[in-house]
Structure 1
Amino acid sequence: MQTVSNDPVAAPRPAGGFSRRRLLKLLGAGGATVVVAGTGALSYRVYDTAALGPGRGDAYDPWQHWRETPGLLGAVGAAVLAPSPHNTQPWGFGIRADGVDVYVDAARDTGTVDPFHREQHVGIGCALENLVLACRARGLLPTVTLLPDGPAGPRIAEVAVRPGPPAPSPLYDAIGDRHTNRGPFEATAIEPETLNELADRTGADDVEVRWIADPAPRAAMSRLLIDAAAALCDDDQQSRDNFAWFRGTNDDIQRYRDGLTLGGQGFGPLMLAIAKLLPASSRADGDQFWLKQTTTVHTATAAAYGVLTSRTPDDRATQLTAGRLLERIHLAATGRGIALHHMNQVTERIDRERSTGAAPAFGPRFAELLPRGEQPLLTFRVGYPVRAAAPSPRRAAAQVVR
């Protein structure tokens, strides 16, 4: 698959022009400055970025019609709405009369950001959970077999079905409302009982859920996330692999129907509309913006962090199970009005250090926040959102069925 790059080497910024990063700095200082370089150029930017109509078009249709299609194709339509690393959507599905086979699309990865494909398989696990919930709601009783052909086999999972009574659930109902929220959260604590109720660990005996909510460990986790984001930005190859999945124009969003977008960054409506009118940010600007958001928004407003841990984090079945559990947590949070934001830069740096043979810097620090012997699989923050999250683009069910 092709990817697009807005690297400054390929697309130098016009002399004297405003970047999105500079505008965001001005807005953050309390005042919005709008520079209009001519009616024609501005009109093109409005069209090119869909500034006046974000979240529209074929790339967003799956969010509107996911309930409508019956049977197994409809269940796949729910599966594709699951979260995945950088919205890579690394899944494929094979539909047969008595079930669905789930595959990994090996081309849809994030390179050095996920060198052991840990996040890729967690994302497929999230889609698998949506698939199971949607089968039940459509009167198809699912039986899941993970890695039916072995760890190196082509199928990630097999979902066999037989007829039964339709069994919708609150988690199923939340599928269309679940979005990753990268915006600010309110300064309201989440009760420990509420956090514990979010995690249904049925069938996930090898995965634990650890909540980091008390002030001191939460501050340590925040510092760890900020340092990991900075290290990732300073790693040239990780930075490039990270930025390759950014879709800066509406044309790219509608063409690829995947990746990260400005609309998914948690901006308010005014800031989003203005940011879309300005020239595309460079990779360096994007890195600095992410680092600033991590410092001033993401970690600064997190009510708590959740960490899924295991003693066998490299096991594929464990990663798939963790993905299913993560999706149940996210759907349960959505149903309670709680926002969730996936933040995996620490485990990305841990895996990067392992893959290059570098001295471990982040693993030992993370271990201090966890019970002895448990290793982190993934991390996320939760809180009550200041504003609702926007949907991200998705490929339709028909595009991911083999």
Structure 2
Amino acid sequence: MKNKSPSFTRRHLLEIGTGATLVAAAGVIWRANERGVIGEKGQEPYKPWEIWNDPAHRGTPLALVAAGVLASNPHNTQPWLFRVSDTRIDILADTSRNLGTFDPYLREMHVGLGCAVENMVLAAAPNGYAVTVTPHAGSLLDIGGRDEPVLAATLHLARGDAPADPLYSAIPKRHTNRNPYDRARGFPDALLHDFAAIPHDENLKLYLFQSGAAYETLGAAIIAATDEIVADHAMIEDSHRWFRDGPQEMERERSGLELDTAGLSPALLAVAKMLPALPAEQSHGTWADQTRDTHVPSAALLGLIAARDRYDRPQTLAAGRLWQRVHLAAGAAGLAMHPLNQPVEMIDRERQLGTESKAEARFAAVTGDEAWQPTFVFRGGYAIRDAAVSARRGAEMVTETV
């Protein structure tokens, strides 16, 4: 008697196909959960936004630090350390967290430190302090031996009883928004007047453009500088090392950039999270596309902060303090802001390389005055989507008590 050969019916194929589909679906769900597409992200890296005025710290210097760590800063590097006593807080530049060829003179780092200083000053009165800020004098061009923290400023604390600045309550509302803006809605005149009225160092000047030749020239300079950065392998590698690939990496680092804050549409964001991280060249090429096609043309406002000397350390800190107040005022009014500082980053890079400063020349038609050196460029407007919250290291992680 012959052995009957096994035969596969349509039912068998359907059963096999169904099983494979279920396995594949389970894999997709697992991947989506691991990459933060579904479910909640780990909460620890984002808690500093919720406990920024924690009652446990109220009335202590640590309350000022808790506000300081929520400040605007380059690439979310959070380049700060704080040495705290009962009567003073030293703010130090953590030079181990610099951006290399993106910031060879630590200029952007010091702008970020100035932002932290402003948040801390705003937090002083609500916590019963009067504060005096002493910036560290000197030039960024003279800072050497960057393997150690560098003192940037000192906050001298005394007990006081002053009313809180209205911008204090805006601290947890301020987020960088890289989404498209609705340019057709314009920018409120009242807020522009508020920006112009912000007290600031006499060595600084604030420029604001909504249209016209200066607006177009500045927008073109931003796009050109972005293309030059993307063509510079060293710059994009130094930038790329601050990208965090997924929730687990962000949970470990609690700093840097992630897809959630990149300004992608919800559908594109979900797809991007499922895929492996792009190489530096491709991810920065996408950034250049966003800059050219979205960031610049959708901006209702383009602005810049200029200094008498962009490498003067006190002026650079003061520029950060001014930017922080501009960003807080916008956040309080429900508007979005986004640094677009690529033209000044290229000025630093060209100086480092000793090449012709094409980036500097592009600003001549914007400021109309060579006495003012741009140090920070940004855009503003009504965003089509709210910004995602960025990860932060908590106050305890960056504070040393002395």
TM-score above 0.5, yes or no: yes
Cα distance change, pair 261–346 in 1 and its aligned pair in 2 (3 A): same
Q: Contact between 2:94 and 2:150, CA under 8 Å: does it hold in 1?
A: no
**Match among 321, 328, 331 for residue 331 of structure 1:** 328
Unpaired segments ≥5 residues, structure 2 = 1-21, 144-148
Percent identical:
36
Q: Deviations over 1:201-231 (max 9, x none)?
A: 4241111000122233222222111111110
Cα distance change, pair 55–227 in 1 and its aligned pair in 2 (3 A): farther
Q: Match of 1:101?
A: 90
SS state at 1:218 partner: helix
Answer with 1 or 2: which has the greater Rg: 2
Q: Match of 1:115?
A: 104
Partner Cα distance (2:39, 2:375) in 1: 37
SS state at 1:368 partner: helix
Q: CA deviation at 1:175?
A: 0.5
Q: Match of 1:64?
A: 50
2:118 is equivalent to residue 132 of structure 1: no
Q: CA deviation at 1:379?
A: 0.2
Q: CA deviation at 1:301?
A: 0.3
Cα distance change, pair 220–78 in 1 and its aligned pair in 2 (3 A): same
Partner Cα distance (1:341, 1:37) in 2: 43
Cα distance change, pair 271–150 in 1 and its aligned pair in 2 (3 A): closer
SS state at 2:105 partner: coil
Q: In structure 2, what residue type is equivalent to 1:260? A: L
Q: In structure 2, what residue type is equivalent to 1:43? A: I
Q: CA deviation at 1:124?
A: 0.3
Q: CA deviation at 1:44?
A: 3.5
Q: Contact between 1:199 and 1:329, CA under 8 Å: does it hold in 2?
A: no
Q: Deviations over 1:83-123 (max 9, x none)?
A: 11100000000110112111110101100001111100000
> Cα RMSD between the aligned structures?
2.1
Partner Cα distance (1:157, 1:142) in 2: 12
Partner Cα distance (1:232, 1:41) in 2: 38
2:227 is equivalent to residue 224 of structure 1: no
Q: Match of 2:17?
A: none
Q: Match of 2:8?
A: none
Segment drifting more, 78-87 vs 134-143: 134-143
Q: CA deviation at 1:266?
A: 1.8
Partner Cα distance (1:261, 1:389) in 2: 12
Q: CA deviation at 1:166?
A: 5.7
Partner Cα distance (2:138, 2:351) in 1: 28
**Match among 346, 356, 368 for residue 349 of structure 1:** 346
Partner Cα distance (2:23, 2:269) in 1: 19
Q: Contact between 2:79 and 2:94, CA under 8 Å: does it hold in 1?
A: yes
2:153 is equivalent to residue 164 of structure 1: no
Q: Contact between 2:42 and 2:251, CA under 8 Å: does it hold in 1?
A: no
Partner Cα distance (1:273, 1:53) in 2: 12
Q: CA deviation at 1:263?
A: 0.6
2:173 is equivalent to residue 177 of structure 1: yes
2:293 is equivalent to residue 304 of structure 1: no
Cα distance change, pair 48–134 in 1 and its aligned pair in 2 (3 A): same
Q: Match of 2:385?
A: 387
Q: Match of 1:5?
A: none
Cα distance change, pair 150–219 in 1 and its aligned pair in 2 (3 A): closer
Normalised by the length of structure 1, the TM-score is 0.87
Q: In structure 2, what residue type is equivalent to 1:114? A: D
Partner Cα distance (1:283, 1:103) in 2: 30
Q: Contact between 1:182 and 1:389, CA under 8 Å: does it hold in 2?
A: yes
Partner Cα distance (1:356, 1:203) in 2: 32
Q: CA deviation at 1:327?
A: 0.2
Partner Cα distance (2:348, 2:95) in 1: 18
**Match among 78, 86, 91 for residue 80 of structure 2:** 91
Partner Cα distance (2:89, 2:41) in 1: 30
Partner Cα distance (1:43, 1:196) in 2: 50
Q: CA deviation at 1:140?
A: 0.9
Partner Cα distance (1:189, 1:276) in 2: 33
2:146 is equivalent to residue 147 of structure 1: no
Q: Match of 1:378?
A: 376
Q: CA deviation at 1:170?
A: 2.1
Partner Cα distance (1:277, 1:140) in 2: 48
Q: Contact between 1:139 and 1:163, CA under 8 Å: does it hold in 2?
A: yes
Q: In structure 2, what residue type is equivalent to 1:87? A: N
Q: CA deviation at 1:50?
A: 1.5
Q: CA deviation at 1:272?
A: 2.2
Partner Cα distance (1:333, 1:264) in 2: 18
Q: Contact between 1:55 and 1:390, CA under 8 Å: does it hold in 2?
A: no
Q: CA deviation at 1:241?
A: 0.6
Cα distance change, pair 106–200 in 1 and its aligned pair in 2 (3 A): farther
Q: In structure 2, what residue type is equivalent to 1:62? A: P
Cα distance change, pair 259–101 in 1 and its aligned pair in 2 (3 A): same
Q: Contact between 2:41 and 2:247, CA under 8 Å: does it hold in 1?
A: no
Normalised by the length of structure 2, the TM-score is 0.87
2:66 is equivalent to residue 77 of structure 1: yes
Partner Cα distance (1:280, 1:37) in 2: 24
Q: CA deviation at 1:282?
A: 1.8
Counterparts of 1:1-80 in structure 2 under 5 Å? 38-53=24-39, 56-68=42-54, 69-70=57-58, 71-80=60-69
Q: Contact between 2:35 and 2:247, CA under 8 Å: does it hold in 1?
A: yes
SS state at 2:251 partner: helix
SS state at 1:379 partner: strand
SS state at 1:67 partner: coil
